[in-house]
Amino acid sequence: MDQIRILRAGVVEHHVMAEAMKEMQQQRIADEIPDTLILVEHPEVVTVGPKAIREGVVVDGYPTVRTDRGGGITWHGPGQLVAYPIVKWGLEEQSIRTIIGRLEDWAIKAFADCGIGAYKDPSMQGTWVDGHKICSIGLSFLHWVSRHGMSINIQTPGTRVEDLEGCGMRAGVHTSLAQLGYTHDLEGRAIDMARIEEALLANCEEILGRAPMQPEPWTAEVVA
């Protein structure tokens, strides 16, 4: 079983992490680093992907930045856990739909461990709970090494996620677990950032096929 390095980045500006991911992707292509999973939280920003740019989507009232991952617009901010897999996918894994499906399954299994029923919607990739999109996925590949990843809305502020619309998604479709009332499990244990991270790592080997190494801290000054 291959291993995957786990980097806890804390809170990092999106543009800083985007540049770091590009460097890590090149390092992974060259086998200078192992498969790596970055766990991070971003200050508020809406990333605007190629689809949104082509469709002329306008985002008012939010800071924005263009991104080269697939898809349209995605909110990032406090209370959202972002998981970026810098992974060299094997020959038998090399299907974009298959890889996205694995990430969807990974989130679904992590939610299940917290007592939350989640599912896929064939109309749009990601993970859904009670008719709302909780997890968004967007990737970019070079030589079948992935960059970017998935974001999970856990305890996002106010209605910042809910008020955002665009790319065929009406306002209110995206939301967080807390907004849906999923703040504690049936045993009274909190469903927070640490809990979702724990659940993801517990299911990493089964779903992603890579055993997680002991998490280590990461700062922007240390790329490798």
Q: How high is the pLDDT of residue 33?
A: 98
Q: Tell me the average pLDDT of the chain.
A: 94
**Residue 135: active-site member:** no
For residue 106, pLDDT beyond 50? yes
The catalytic residue among 114, 135, 167, 204 is: 167
Q: 198 is written with which tokens?
A: 């724990």
- pLDDT tens-place string over residues 30-39: 999 999 999 9
Q: Are 19 and 51 in contact (CB under 8 A)?
A: no
pTM of this structure: 0.95
Confirm if 183 and 84 have CB atoms less than 8 A apart: no
Domains and CATH numbers, the chain: 41-204 (3.30.930.10)
pLDDT digits (tens, 9 = 90+) for 132-157: 999 999 999 999 999 999 999 999 99
pLDDT tops 80 at residue 24? yes
What integer pLDDT is reported at residue 223 of this predicted model?
44
User: Virtual CA dihedral for 2, 212, 89, 125, nearest 10 degrees?
Assistant: 150
Between 68 and 165, the more confident residue is 68
Residues 22, 27: Cα–Cα separation, whole Å: 9
**CA–CA distances in Å: residue 179 to residues 64, 130, 223:** 24, 11, 35
